[in-house]
Structure 1
Amino acid sequence: MRESSLFNNLTASSVVTVACILGLLYFGRDVLEPLALATVLSLVLAPLIRSMRRVGLPRLPATLVSVLLAGTCVIGIGTILAFQLVAVTRDLPEYRAAIRSKIERVRELTERPFARLEAELSAVAPQSPVAPPPPVTVRRGTLTTSANQPLPVEIRAPRATTRDTLARLFSLAWGPIGEAGLVLVLLVFILLEHESLRDRVIRLAGQAEISRTVRALSDATRGVSRFFLSQFVVNLTFGALIGGLLWAFGVPHAALWGALSGLLRFVPYLGIMVAGVLIAVFVAAIDPGWTMALSCLAIFVALELFVANVVEPKVYGHSSGLSPLAVIVSALFWGAMWGPVGLLLSTPLTLCLVVAGRHVRALEPVTILLGDVPDVNVAQRFYQRVLAGETYNIILDARSYLDRHSFARYCDQILLPGIALAAAEQRAGQLETAQAAHLRTTIADVAATLTPVSKEVPRNRRRKGRVSLLDANVGAHLRKMREERLGRWQGSLDVPSHSIVLCAGLGTERDDLLTELLVRALRELDVDARSVVIGADQDNPGPDKADLISTVFLIYPVESMLEQWQRVADELRAGLPNALLVTIRLPFGETAANQTVVQEHVDMVLRSFEESLAFVVPERVGQA
């Protein structure tokens, strides 16, 4: 992940630039709205044009046929919906009485408890004095209340003629028709000038940024357009299913309500709720009871939940998605900027910005804030959770990970890279003492929980000596837990020859932790792995036990301890002539010793715990 900080790059010039862009979006919406609509539609039609070009059609006929086909579908569907809408308007007086009676019934049910409560409170509360009536004067048999009482005046509009009605309808329709025509012209020229526009954008970006610009345009024209086309197909299918189900229930004008559901579904969250409410109100108006309305609403909600949580994740994927909060925020932003058109285009426009932010550094904060998946890898998430004290969530995710992979892979992919991040911050002096202590405790809990030795002492039952050992050395703490259960030799010495794998280190905190994690990774596959600290004061089981060891894993040295490590490796080679001597070079970000020098003292240099498992049990590691 590229290191970036929004606040470090926040300057007065950047604030002014953002303000100018927002002002341009708001005040230039008359020009930008049709341009944005045409661009989004071009991305929707791009897969269809590419399919026609694969068949052999040139670009011009493929573009014209695609636009003509899309326009014909829109006009046909619009015509059908217009007739359906006219039919609903004609039948509306028949439903008005039913709607009014049900509204009164609902109002009575909702207002009755409050009215009763108000009556009881009014009976208890003290009564306020009633204002006296206004003075009344009698003159010549006429009753008046004021000398300056205004006279009621009724203003009636002149009756509209047929010419006026047609002119009004034409003025209302001219705006949408003119904008639709402008969008159509822009759409055709954008599709025809696709390659030319791409070349111009690459030329503007400059020769130095040509590869990044080509990748960004490729994502926009292929990935994003595929997403829009998939969204169109899903919403079309959803509308067809709703229409079919309403028709099966005997609801009139089912095609209209199905199309309305599919169209409103393009408006994030709010649109689908409006469609559900409209359908429920209409069904309640045509049915004497509430059974059909509630049934249709339940089916509508169930189908929406199924599509949103099962179908869309499989169809769209998460490669170019938005987080749910980002969808709402984008709808609020673009709705405030461009009104209904902005609300309709909020998801496509924000999605384009998120995709562009993966390649344009200036837009990278947009991708980080609004993207479906944050730009954080699993090791960084582990370390962040350690600092936040979320040990339970770490263990929960780790158990889910171990359902599919081995503990060795968990160490290679998550645990050890996370520890490496902590070690780098500790070397830089950025890790506080309390955070370092919490890191040790979390590592010990994770290792003990994921690879338990039988009847290990739980964390809340540790004795004082064990806690102080944990604060000093995590690896030594974990090794002592095993020794208390398995014995001083960490198991029986009455085992076959060449059946023990020895994990050795120089006694540093780093080496003790790595050897203990490696032992637990090997023991997960029933390998008789044991750890030892070279140079520590400890008993020797005897020279006759040397034949029990088949392999010795010696932790790769840092540059400052290379000489000591060389002496230890030579001693192991002399004391265990029949055992293989292997070292593991892990990417800890330290100043590691020269590998050429290290290779002279060992039989093999490995680079991960998984390679170690494959080296010891090659026939079983693939199954783990």
Structure 2
Amino acid sequence: MMNVNFAVTAACVLGLLYFGREVLQPVVAALVLSLAIAPLIRTAGRFGLSRMSATFGALGLVVVVFAAAFSVLGANVLALTSELPRYSAEIRAKSKSLQEMTQHPLARLAPQLLEGTPATTNHETSVRPLPVEIHERASTSDAIAKAIGVVSGPLGEAFLVLVLLVFILLDRENLRDRVLRLVGQREVSRAIKGLEDAAEGVSRFFFAQLVLNVMFGVVIGIALWLIGIPHAALWGAICAALRFVPYIGALIAGAAIALFAAAVEPGWMLAAYALVLFLILELLVAHVVEPRVYGHSVGMSALAVIVSALFWGAIWGPLGLLLSTPLTLCIVVAGRYIKGLEPISILLAEAPDTNDAQRFHHRVLSGDADAILEDARAFLRKSTLARYCDKVLLPGMSLASSDLLGSQEQRLRATVAMVADTLAAGHSSSRSRRRRISMLNESIGAHLRHRREERLGRWQGSLDVPARSVILSTAMPGVREEFMSELLVLVFREARLDARSFVLKQDESNADSAPDAGQLISTAFIAYPVESELPAWTAAVTELRAALPDVPLATIRPHDSMAEELSQVAKHVDLVLQSCEEALAFVAPGRSG
């Protein structure tokens, strides 16, 4: 039933957008322009102008700038119109030469053979009557009527958009109150937050896009003028306008400039210069300037930009192409606060609304270790391994452990082991050093401990070290507890501390220790009892206390542990910590940031 209701609603919305486009287009265009002009009005208001004065001042400035630009462009268009016959002749000549160059030799041979055939003597086929065409002379009144019809359409629509824009800007507070009234009192806080986000972030994005495209048009116009292309100001303005159309606009602008440059001179060098110049500037702006100017506070994915351009272009034509990015961006922002639009925001937003732990959960279930390691490297470039464990690895594993199906448990263990093994060797290590890990016979913690013993020996390092310089991390036999113990060793070793692990009551070989090894230990950690029974864990802690009477004993409480167990655990240790960062701050103050 829900699917049927959704399909009916979607059909009604699409029908309203398509059949009501004559009414909706000017209204939506005015709303988008109001968001673009809003930063200019706010700037004018900071100089002490009233709301009405700031609004009309900003509108007046925009109208004057556009009028001046259109007057200059109109002069260039008239000059270009008078030179079109010469440019058209050059284009036809180059098209013919290209056709001859690309034509197959056998295709050029056929006309030559046909030229040698004798002409027919049939009078009926050699003499053909000339077609008679009757041209009706258009009167002056018809020409004037056609001119008025061509001009009044765009001018009338522009005037309508301008009137709507004025009323929207002057009455925006009243419009906001009406929207909040429609939303209802329960959702008023979310609605206000959404409106503020649209008014601030989205309007800044539009204004930055406007300024950046205008500057691009100015730069490309000057560059084309320097290499000798006529009407450079016109082509700069065309580039600035077409850049508002995502992706397709830049391609059309580059092709138009190259075509016009080819029509200016007989050779191809000027067209090549113009095309290379445009490509360099476009790539520089698209990949260097725009990411710095726009940032990542508001945006859509690249696929969403293309899909939105196709959708709005099919619904509203050329105006839909121009408005596709701002319209979809408004919907994405609204989807963060309006539940009905949330699926659109999730699908089209620049980054999905998932945290690092959820992303780790999704990728570890699919066995995508490469993506996990890329995210880990990006995280560790800005933070510590302790914070990565607290914010990403452990919460992500907790989510994954509760959502396992069939063979996903084996995949989870192998993927996490590979990630932890790479982090143990250094998070900047290359992919070639990783190897596929089989987890059939041992847990992740046992695997990490055995790899460390292979590299550093049975005692995981030299025993000829200063007294109280070793941190001991212990655990009862168990998958989760051993993994927590080994993870803590990784955290300490990443901070350049001498940390080693030990499994309590694992076998007899682990029970004997080196002489006076207890004098080397400064702090001992024992994994929180997650899988082991509390009486067995308590007995093991008691033996550890007897072996290390002067060493402080601490544990780290997992986020998903039971509260009633905490009081029993706290009686047997000196300190219960909440995270790996707290543990690192406890043993080495100042290194956990």
Using structure 1 for the length normalisation, give the TM-score: 0.87
Shift of 1:110: 2.2
481, 485, 489: which one aligns with 2:459:
489
Match of 1:368 in 2: 346
Change in 2 beyond 3 A, CA 1:84/1:392: same
Distance 2:223 2:522 in 1: 70
Distance 2:367 2:375 in 1: 14
Give the match's secondary structure for 1:374: coil
Letter in 1 for 2:30: A
Letter in 2 for 1:578: D
**In the TM superposition, what whole-angstrom CA distance separates every residue of 1:512-547 from its partner, at most 9, and x where no partner exists?**
111111112212233221111223323221674322
Paired residues for 1:194-209 under 5 Å: 194-209=172-187
Q: Which moved more, 1:597-606 or 1:50-59?
A: 597-606
232, 248, 252: which one aligns with 1:270:
248
Letter in 2 for 1:206: G
User: Is the CA contact 1:503–1:552 (under 8 Å) kept in the aligned structure 2?
Assistant: yes
Paired residues for 1:83-482 under 5 Å: 83-111=75-103, 114-116=104-106, 154-426=132-404, 431-432=405-406, 434-452=407-425, 468-470=440-442, 473-482=443-452
User: Is the CA contact 1:558–1:592 (under 8 Å) kept in the aligned structure 2?
Assistant: no
User: Is the CA contact 1:49–1:66 (under 8 Å) kept in the aligned structure 2?
Assistant: yes
User: Is the CA contact 1:469–1:477 (under 8 Å) kept in the aligned structure 2?
Assistant: no
Give the match's secondary structure for 1:373: coil
What RMSD in Å do the two structures reach over aligned CA positions?
A: 2.9
Match of 2:587 in 1: 616
User: Is the CA contact 2:476–2:532 (under 8 Å) kept in the aligned structure 1?
Assistant: no
Distance 1:282 1:259 in 2: 15
506, 509, 516: which one aligns with 1:536:
506
Letter in 1 for 2:213: N
User: Is the CA contact 1:330–1:350 (under 8 Å) kept in the aligned structure 2?
Assistant: yes
Shift of 1:239: 0.1
Shift of 1:198: 0.6
User: Is the CA contact 2:444–2:479 (under 8 Å) kept in the aligned structure 1?
Assistant: yes
Shift of 1:619: 4.2
User: Is the CA contact 1:566–1:601 (under 8 Å) kept in the aligned structure 2?
Assistant: yes
515, 522, 525: which one aligns with 1:553:
525
Q: Is 2:546 aligned against 1:568? A: no
User: Is the CA contact 2:476–2:503 (under 8 Å) kept in the aligned structure 1?
Assistant: yes
User: Is the CA contact 1:557–1:593 (under 8 Å) kept in the aligned structure 2?
Assistant: no
Shift of 1:152: 7.0
User: Is the CA contact 1:498–1:550 (under 8 Å) kept in the aligned structure 2?
Assistant: yes
**In the TM superposition, what whole-angstrom CA distance separates every residue of 1:107-133 from its partner, at most 9, and x where no partner exists?**
22222xx3447979xx9xxxxxxxxxx
Give the match's secondary structure for 1:71: helix
Shift of 1:79: 1.3
Change in 2 beyond 3 A, CA 1:152/1:107: closer
User: Is the CA contact 1:235–1:262 (under 8 Å) kept in the aligned structure 2?
Assistant: yes
Shift of 1:461: 9.3
Letter in 1 for 2:501: S
Change in 2 beyond 3 A, CA 1:325/1:527: same
Letter in 2 for 1:555: A
Distance 2:589 2:252 in 1: 60
Unaligned runs of 5+ in 1: 1-8, 124-133, 137-142
Q: Which moved more, 1:182-191 or 1:482-491?
A: 482-491
Shift of 1:478: 1.6
Distance 2:370 2:6 in 1: 41
Shift of 1:12: 0.7
Letter in 1 for 2:585: A
User: Is the CA contact 2:585–2:592 (under 8 Å) kept in the aligned structure 1?
Assistant: yes
Q: Which moved more, 1:305-314 or 1:416-425?
A: 416-425
Letter in 1 for 2:194: A
Distance 1:15 1:476 in 2: 53
Letter in 2 for 1:51: T
Shift of 1:30: 0.4
Change in 2 beyond 3 A, CA 1:593/1:492: farther
Q: Which moved more, 1:322-331 or 1:486-495?
A: 486-495
Distance 2:74 2:433 in 1: 71
Change in 2 beyond 3 A, CA 1:94/1:461: closer
Give the match's secondary structure for 2:383: coil
Aligned length: 582
Distance 1:12 1:343 in 2: 30
Distance 2:166 2:382 in 1: 50
Shift of 1:392: 3.0
Letter in 2 for 1:316: Y
Unaligned runs of 5+ in 2: 114-119
Letter in 1 for 2:48: G
Shift of 1:418: 1.9
Shift of 1:341: 0.9
Shift of 1:306: 0.7
Q: Is 2:39 aligned against 1:67? A: no
Distance 1:444 1:510 in 2: 12
Distance 1:194 1:327 in 2: 28
Shift of 1:621: 4.2
Match of 1:499 in 2: 469
Give the match's secondary structure for 2:474: strand
Q: Which moved more, 1:87-96 or 1:400-409?
A: 400-409
Match of 1:5 in 2: none
Shift of 1:597: 4.0
Distance 2:546 2:252 in 1: 81
Shift of 1:21: 0.4
Q: Is 2:47 aligned against 1:55? A: yes
Letter in 2 for 1:297: L
Letter in 1 for 2:310: L
User: Is the CA contact 1:559–1:594 (under 8 Å) kept in the aligned structure 2?
Assistant: no
**In the TM superposition, what whole-angstrom CA distance separates every residue of 1:134-169 from its partner, at most 9, and x where no partner exists?**
998xxxxxx558xxxx98763423212222211110
Distance 1:215 1:74 in 2: 33
